Amino acid sequence: MNTLTEYAYLSTDMMKKGIALTIVKDCPLMERLPYMEINGNSYKYNIESVAAGAQFYQSGAVWAESSPNWAQRSKALTILGGDADVDNFAAQTRSNVNDVKAEVLALKAKAISQKFQKELIWGGTSTTPAPDGFDGLIKLIAECDPSGVAETTLDGINNTQVLPAHATSATLTLQMVDNLFDRVLGAPPDVLLMSKRTRRKLNSLCRAGGGNLTFMSTALGTQLTAYNGIPIMIDDYIPDNVVDATTSVVNAAALDQDVARAGAADNSFMFALRFGSDGLIGLTNGWIQTVDLGDLETKDASRTRIKFYCGLALLNLKACAVLINFTDGL
């Protein structure tokens, strides 16, 4: 499995390379998220829902069989993209200053990146879901509940991958962050994903505590803060206006992305994510594709289509977790 960054460097098409790197730059998590290239338009996989048992026996005792239980998941690819028109007159008369087509395609790639970044969080949830999008982190972690894919709540009572800071709302503490780490089993998380507001609160807590923060660089040279060695990444689409929960449960289907932030609507989410074949992966068929549609009939312009057949899958129910019902206290 490659990341989008690695795909960009492997590509010999400079246009595709530039578009891929623009998307990565505007969605930092894409620099770390590995992708599995699949055949067809969906990926079906099995996950261990109940672990196998083991016990001690006396010599000659009758052995009891205990096999793991499996649950099947299926995630479909979605089509993300857009068309970009370049005015032929501008391209011919102004390209001596800047490559007009490159600038237009970079802006289109940025829009695609922002759309992906939002879907990465909100996909399949909230009162205003994107039509035809893929399931995002909130939905994937909600599906870790024993009730399975039909689950539409972040249930801090029955879902072990949902950690409620409080039944309704509480101010973030370092112990909450450490407890979130412990919900990711098998290996440590690869990143902590949070909003800028939450990062400021975490930085403040660490400075007051006298440690825990270090600094590191990504493959593209981006400077990141790390908490106990785990990189902190920011997603501008993680909300800071989540309404206070009811008995440790957040109804994902009822999340209102546009509610005004206020005293009873000031909670946020923090995600601990592990990537790879035993965790969170992206799905694709064909990676990022560009199609030159040529000159248009109705205006003096040429059109390029950028498309990305993509999706998201969680291959291990214990590889990701989310902290809910917390605020920065301000």
pLDDT block averages, 10 residues each, the chain of length 330: 72 74 77 89 76 81 77 85 90 74 86 91 86 91 83 91 96 96 94 95 89 73 83 93 93 89 93 95 90 91 92 93 94
pTM of the model: 0.87
Domains 2-48+76-121+279-310 and 131-275+317-327 share a fold: no
Residues 6+ apart with CB under 8 A from 210: none
Burial 167-180 (b: 16+ CB within 10 A, else e): eebeebebebbeeb
Q: What are phi and psi of 283, to 5 degrees?
A: -120, 140
Q: Where are the domains of the chain?
A: 2-48+76-121+279-310, 131-275+317-327
Query: Is 3.30.2400.20 the CATH classification of the domain at 2-48+76-121+279-310?
Result: yes
Q: What is the pLDDT of residue 104?
A: 87
Q: What is the pLDDT of residue 150?
A: 76
Q: What is the pLDDT of residue 219?
A: 63
Q: What is the pLDDT of residue 94?
A: 76
Q: What are phi and psi of 123, to 5 degrees?
A: -50, 125
The DSSP-derived string for 176-207 is HHHHHHHTS-SS--SEEEE-HHHHHHHHHHHH
Report the relative pairing of strands 34-37 and 249-251 from DSSP bridges: unpaired
Q: What is the pLDDT of residue 177?
A: 96
Apex 179 CA angle, 270 and 185, nearest 5: 90
Domain 131-275+317-327, what fold? capsid protein of prophage fold (3.30.1930)
Q: Report the Cα–Cα distance between both ends of the chain, in Å, rounded.
A: 42
User: Alpha-carbon distance 64 to 57, whole Å?
Assistant: 10
Q: Are 52 and 68 in contact (CB under 8 A)?
A: yes
Residues 6+ apart with CB under 8 A from 304: 83, 84, 86, 101, 105, 290, 291, 292, 293
Q: Are 45 and 313 in contact (CB under 8 A)?
A: yes
Q: What is the pLDDT of residue 24?
A: 76
- The CA-atom distances, in angstroms, between 160 and each of 123, 146, 323 are 21, 9, 11
Q: What is the pLDDT of residue 191?
A: 95
Torsion of CA 169, 173, 177, 178, to 10 degrees: -130
